[in-house]
């Protein structure tokens, strides 16, 4: 199995807040990440495909095309945005890193798989919120 990863980044604001819980619960659960006026991150996004190279091209996926899909599907919608308010596919989702990787994976799955079919598929999405904290979603592991 071959794994190919495209790394990109975006900047966005968010607030971790569960509207079904009390203000006190939210403050205890999320601390500074629950700040009423939001907070921001310089996110780093890794999108990985897995499979075998196409015998004709030697590629599992054309990285230029993968870059464009990531830009169109995720970056153009999230960069310099408020993830709670501005990103339609994140409506009603608490924008934790864990929830973001699942949402990003679901948005990317069909267009990425179309690029590498029949030799591969979207394997995982990893999102670094900081240099030391990241979440990864890999549903087939």
- Distance (Å, rounded) from C-alpha 66 to C-alpha 90? 22
**Among 33, 41, 78, 123, which one carries the catalytic annotation?**
33
**Among 9, 35, 39, 80, which one carries the catalytic annotation?**
80
**Among 71, 129, 136, 138, which one carries the catalytic annotation?**
129
User: Is 129 an active-site residue?
Assistant: yes
User: Is 46 an active-site residue?
Assistant: no
User: Is 116 an active-site residue?
Assistant: no
Q: Which residues pair with 5 in a beta bridge?
A: 48
Positions annotated as catalytic residues are 33, 80, 129
């Amino acid at each position: 199995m071959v794994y190919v990863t495209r790394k990109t980044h975006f900047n966005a604001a968010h607030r971790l807040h569960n509207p079904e819980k009390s203000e006190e619960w939210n403050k205890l659960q999320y601390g500074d990440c629950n700040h009423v006026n939001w907070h921001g991150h310089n996110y780093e996004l890794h999108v990985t495909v897995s499979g075998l190279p196409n015998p004709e091209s030697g590629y599992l996926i054309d990285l230029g095309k993968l870059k464009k899909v990531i830009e169109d599907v995720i970056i153009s919608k999230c960069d310099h945005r408020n993830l709670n308010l501005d990103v339609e596919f994140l409506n009603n989702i608490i924008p934790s890193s864990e929830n973001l990787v699942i949402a990003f994976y679901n948005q990317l799955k069909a267009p990425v798989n179309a690029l590498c079919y029949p030799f591969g598929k979207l394997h995982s999405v990893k999102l670094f919120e900081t240099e030391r904290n990241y979440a990864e979603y890999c549903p087939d592991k």
